[in-house]
Chain A
């Protein structure tokens, strides 16, 4: 019997995105409420001056939340329904399962991504290069958070733990760090704390791409290096060290 890898990928997309959107449309509203609401607050509080920064922040948040969401979805399917047990015993590999689930999260976030992209095109003046930079950073942030989410989910034994992980991660990765506002707003000694979060580097790159921050070439190079390294390390970790088959 010929086995199709595409089928295996599509299975995750159906279970985790298409079918759940089809059967529970309300879940869609939820995915763009969070980034949109912070964007609105930032824009109002800054009298519009931070609209473009806030928009890029919302894009980063959407990407990062996808991975965090993946973590909870996977744990739910694994621990509450034993779907993952059935998949482990099937021809689907850990990698195909993760890839399929990652795609499902993108599809789930599409409404948010589309709205934010339309707003970005309308309100941010950005060059083609700038657009490519933004896209690349978003893709890296997505890989980072998906890998992190997958890694954590294979270690969780209870969805309640995941809700805790989720809350903590989302605060440390998107709410507190200078994702929705420029890093220059943080007084100096504390600025270094912000650099503990990989999202800070991503935000710097995007804020510079939209012309909001002037960064030295060295700073930019460091930013890229960190964003790429973090994504690469987590992807490797998630493939090598995830607990797919239990021991």
Chain B
């Protein structure tokens, strides 16, 4: 049995629906945190649900630690837990009851289940809400109840589909600390729209776009895919620019960004300073990589000239 997450030509086409996953190939170690990022509808949830044995693929195979997600689902289910994207804390239960009942579904004894409630609530800082009905809790605390529920399972493989959506910045970074602690002895498959989250937590990052896996690797490996190490953002509209190397991306809001080499970034910076153009220049971040790979860039050479002043 070889440890790892392996997908081979994994494809999913929903009945009367779109091609949600198009020939996905992944082979990564099943330890630490794997963050899957991608735009809305890219296929993150579809992949997560297939791996968590909730949904059948149309073709292709996937194994986790050598266990097939289709043919050996029963065995796999002994080791996994999932926090579905759209799950909600059951209104008529308290956090204690939510956790206890889920642990019973995992097959733990009532006594064992009960004993895990408080430490887990404490881990997420919601111990004082133990016996409040979920429906009276704030949105973020409800979210934490769900996170606590799957964490309490102690499963070695956790799927968490956008766990931090709806959490305030402090709670989110607290959860990051928790996940960072937990990842030491388990595999966490995480999807997120917060690229900083993936940057901070992930040992491996996958970028999925329109059902295709467009990048897979550590943050450093992803940086290499992009070839360029620097990002220059122009912080005002209507500036015409023609980089010699790299790619020019125009954001939805009309602001331009150039992903390029250090030398070219320097050259542009000097020009912007001379012209009094407001800009920022940084080593490339995951967000830049994401834009670079997912947003169709405007290639150098066919740079649009919008002199239309501002």
Please list the residues of chain A having a beta carbon within 8 angstroms of any beta carbon in chain B.
1-5, 7-8, 10-11, 14-15, 19-20, 23-24, 77, 80-83, 85-93, 245-247
Contacts and interface: CB of A to CB of B under 8 A. Distances in A.
Interface stretch (B24-32, B76-84, B116-124, B225-233): B76-84
B231 to A, nearest CB: 38
Nearest to A24: B92
Interface centre among A1, A7, A8, A247 (most CB of B within 10 A): A7
Contacts, number: 112
Contacts of A82: 84, 86-88
A4 B110 CA distance: 10
A2 B111 CA distance: 14
A20 B134 CA distance: 12
Interface centre among A3, A5, A83 (most CB of B within 10 A): A83
Interface of B: 15, 49, 52-56, 73-74, 77-78, 80-84, 86-90, 92-94, 97, 100-102, 104-110, 113, 133, 149-150, 153, 159
Contact of B92 (A1, A3, A20, A245): A20
B52 A19 contact: no
B100 A14 contact: yes
Contacts of A23: 92-94, 133
8 contacts: A7-B108, A11-B101, A14-B104, A81-B88, A89-B159, A90-B105, A90-B106, A93-B74
Nearest to A27: B92
A85 B84 contact: yes
Contacts of A245: 53-56, 73
B53 A88 contact: yes
Contact of B102 (A1, A2, A86): A86
A246 B54 contact: yes
A4 B106 CA distance: 8
A92 B92 CA distance: 22
Contacts of B102: 11, 86, 90
B293 to A, nearest CB: 30
A4 B162 CA distance: 31
Nearest to B73: A245
B110 A89 contact: no
B78 A3 contact: yes
Contacts of B80: 89
Contacts of A81: 87-90
A10 to B, nearest CB: 6
A33 to B, nearest CB: 19
B54 A91 contact: no
A94 B80 CA distance: 17
A80 B78 contact: no
A127 B101 CA distance: 42
A10 B104 contact: yes
Contacts of A3: 78, 106-108
B157 to A, nearest CB: 10
A138 B261 CA distance: 78
B77 A90 contact: yes
B249 to A, nearest CB: 36
A4 B101 CA distance: 13
A123 to B, nearest CB: 36
